[in-house]
Each structure stands twice: as C-alpha cells, then as structure tokens.
Structure 1
Amino acid sequence: MSDITLYRNKELPFLEAKLCRKSDLAYQKHFHEEYSIGLIDEGETQAWCEGLVWRVESGRMISFPPHMLHACQPAEKVNWKYKMLFINPKWFEQIELPHMDTLQIPFLLEDGKNEACSKLLNHTMGYLTINGSPLEIETSLIQLVFTLTNKHASDLAHESHNSLEQKYVKRLKEYIHEYYKDRITLEMLEQETGISRYHLIRMFKKSTHLPPHAYQNLLRINHAKTELKKRIPIAEIAVDTGYYDQSHFSKAFAKIVGATPQTYAMSI
C-alpha cells in the first residue's frame, strides 16, 4: 500500500481526501487553496500556524482555512498516520450552513465535539475509499461541517413539522423513488426542490428519521430482494441497483437484511 493515497469522486469535484502513512514526512510552511480538516490516527505532530505551535496528538482533529500558512513536523521514532479532507471554498457558498464564520480560524477540537467530528470524518473518508454514492459522501461531509461549526451541535434540531416542509419531503421521496437506481447527488435534490443541501437534509431526516442516502439504500435493497427471488444473478443485481461492485452491494445488503445476498437467494 502506498505511503500516501488520494481519493476523489468525479461527481463531487469540490472534495479531495488524503490518507498518509509516511512517518518521516514533514511539511514545510505552505498553504492550501481549499479548506482542510485533518485527523491524526497515529503518532503526533507539532503544527506551526502563523507563529503559534500546537501539539496535535493521536485522535485529535485540526483545521485550516484557505491560504493560512502552516507547517507540520511529526514526532520522531513513532508511527505517523493521518487523514485529511480538502474542500473547495465555493462549496460552502452553496450549502448555507449557519455559523460559517467559525471556519475562518484554525482550531483543535476538544472532548465530545472532537469525538463526534472524528466519527463523521471517518464516515466521509470511508465512503470515499469504497467509492460510495455521492449522496452518502456529501451528506456525511455536511453533517461533519455542521457539527464542526455549531457550538451546540446535535444531529438534527427537533423542530415542529409544517405543511410546506412536508410538501418538500414528499417531492424528495418521489424523486428518490423514481431514480433510486441512479447515483443521485445532493445537487440534483437541491435543483429539484430549490432548497439548499443543508436544509433539505435536515427536513428529510426530521420527517423520515433517515438521511436521503439511507432512504435510497433501503429502496435499492428492497428491490434487490425482489430480484433475488427471481433467481437473477447477484452480480447483475448489484450493477442494476447502482452499487459500485458486488462486494459493496453484499455488505450493504447484509447490514439491512442480516444475511448476504447469496444466503438470502439460497433460502428461497
């Protein structure tokens, strides 16, 4: 496995991820055009940022806004592993998240927020590494940035329902039902409803208790169960339902059904 691996999704050109396992890799003073969010998986580093030096240990997250000068010097004689997301600033203009001003300074996260954001960063990275759907990747990224920037972040606020919101949720459901086999993006849903990505995720999850990508996945799995009963080959079903490959399909199927597609088909 390479010391440095980069991950991209052609449908989400605003996002790039990097996984580094090179213990002797130090970075001299530099800056990025993108907003960067990092998580130290192993080891620790001294992070210099505009005259200040921060010690960043394993399990800690740090972020830098675009064009902020910084440098990193990993500790000697320790394994050094970290992951980083690089986000084009123009993406933030599209999602209308609150508290975006807090992204203008670098900071280390503490305690519960660090733990919550670490999980969401790992989810985002995980979806990228398995070439997950753009809906999965961007939804996870929005949840990460929301939690990162919101002082009192919870998954979703418990707000009262209203008829207008239900109208939008109904349209979102109709769209997902119609195109669930396709690689739906949040941009597509945004264009369909005229609602920003951040707000449509909140609305949809408040109403259905699921984010859009999870709802789409359930439709795919239910369709797959019907197809398996027809004795259609598993590989063919995986492609037809929009999964990247048979392995990805099998893992998603087992998480919902409790059995692999092969086991399910043999029991019919």
Structure 2
Amino acid sequence: MILPGVRHPTDDTISQLYQKSYIKITNWKQNFQNGNKLAEILQYLHELCYNGCKKCGGDTVEPLQYEERGYLKEPFRLFHLADGRGEYIEYHYHAFHKIIILLAGKAGYAVEGERYELSPGDFVLVGRGSIHRPVVAAGDYYERMILYIAPEYLRSLTAGDCDPSECFRRAQETFQYVYRDENGSRVRPLFQALAETIRQGGYGAALLAQAQFTELMVEVNRVVRGGHRVGAAGGDSKVISLLQYLNLHLTEPLTIDQLAERFYISKYHMMRRFRQETGYSVHGYLTEKRLLLAQQLLARGCTPAEAAVQAGYQDYSTFSRAYKKQFGRSPSADAEKEHDLQITTQDL
C-alpha cells in the first residue's frame, strides 16, 4: 500500500498551484449582469430540458466546475497547509469524502449554499457529491489540515454497529456540515498525531497511520453524534431550501414549473438566484448529482440499467450519453470496476 503523504508545498509549488485565478466568469453570468433578457430566455429554455429529454438530454450536461489534478490512489491522503490565499473559488464537488479542520487564522466555508464562519478547532464534513467552496478574504492567513478519504475504504472499516462513514451520511441528511472540537474531544490532536506519523515515516509507519486514521474517524463520529455542530452564518435562504429539496427528491421527476410553484418564486428569478449562489444551473446541479449517484451504484454492483433507473433516469440512452460526457467512459466500463478518485488541489 502506498503510504498517504502529508504535503508541505514550497513557495514555488504554492505559486504554481495557485497562480491561476479560479474566478470563472461565464458568458451566461456576464449576460445576466448586463441585463441581457435574451440570455435569460435562452437559459430558461435550456432549463426546461433538464429532466433528460431524448432530443437534447445527452448534450446539455454542464462541464465540471473545477480543475482536476492528480488522483487519490491511497485509502486516504492528508495535507497540511498555511497561507493567505484570497481567490474566489467556485462551488464544486468530489467523488470522495473530505474533512477540513481549521488550526489557526480566519476562514469561512460554504457547503450546499450555507456559509459558515470557522474558528480554530472547527472541522467541516464534505461528503462525496456535496458542493462546497472555501471562503477566505484577501490577506486572511489560515492554517488547516485537509483529509481526503476513499468512501469504499472508509466503509470497509465498519465493525459491529460502528460505521465510520456515518458522519458524512448524517451531515448530508441533516444538512449540518460543521462541528466544533470541544468538551474534551480529541479530533485536533488526532489529526496532528496522524500528520506526525506520516511525516516521520520509519518502521511500521503505514500500519500505525491506518490505526490512527481509524481512531480519528471514530472520534469524529462521536463528536457528530454528540451534536457539537456549528450553525450556519449566512446564505440565500430560498436557494438553501431549494438545494435541500433537490437532495431529498433527487431521483424523482422534477420540473422548473413545479419547483417555482413550490417555492413561490418566478421561474426566471429562481434560476438566476440559484446560479448566482451556487455557480450551477438547476439542470447542471441535478445532472451532476444524479450521475455521481449512478457511479456509486455501479461501483456497488448495480447493472448500468439498474443504476440509470435508481438515479432517476427514465431513458437509458439519455443516461448513457450524459454519463459518458461527464466521466469520459460508458456506464458499462464502470460497472463493478474501481477507478482512482480524481482530486483537485483547487481548494486546498
């Protein structure tokens, strides 16, 4: 097994990783800001197809909102970083779990539309598929550790009634993503102990790191079960409600008309606010969530046809085209086959 490594980038490395601005202003956003009504109408017509019609469903999948760099080949990987980066990062998601713990400084984090102000010791649970982004003001220094976790490896550690992936499931089901390391919990020192073991290496380091990782995940779950959560500090309440509804009804037939009526908002206004807040269209958000769900189902042994139905697709050909466009391979290629999990250094 390849030992997970702690990365301490040099100034040159940080420059290479972060010199590129991640402020991605699309033509759609420019048109909205300029008050281009034609763009709004075209966007509305585009949204009407997000249920996956046979005519254009396979060709309307939006690209990923972030750059992909490297692969998560290990069961987990730990990063320890400190800087004063202040670029705007778009919402994005991963195909693996992630925990971010703030060690020092000042930073915020947004998950599924809700924004949090972090204090040292707070940790963020970002489950596979949850859209998120860091929120850091220009010049604000912050030190953090970031742990990337392969979901199937985490599930394999289940023993008795202890499923260490429960914390991510709870975070996604309750929409509560940030927790505080307090009242005697050991999350922060366990992070630091794991980092030190990986840094020092030596005899038995790989085995010890696995044991420390397991201990850390047990402690994280205890904190989550204890309810030491941090409340959200802000966010567009209407968009947050819409995001939560979409996640709860991800595989059901949904239309723009139904959503607008349910949330008492005009179609145009709803779509514009959703995109401005998340960086996604409603169609793009649902498509990526459904395809990621299908990918998980395939990894667990479902046939492509079963995965399509369970992910909310009524037409297999539409699903197959969308899947191949998103992941670069057909659903059948992923059936019962493990792939390296792509990771991005964008929000380190």
Query: TM-score, normalising length from structure 2?
Result: 0.38
Structure with more contact order per residue of length (Cα contacts < 8 Å, sep ≥ 6): 2
Return the structure number with greater strand share.
1
Query: TM-score, normalising length from structure 1?
Result: 0.49
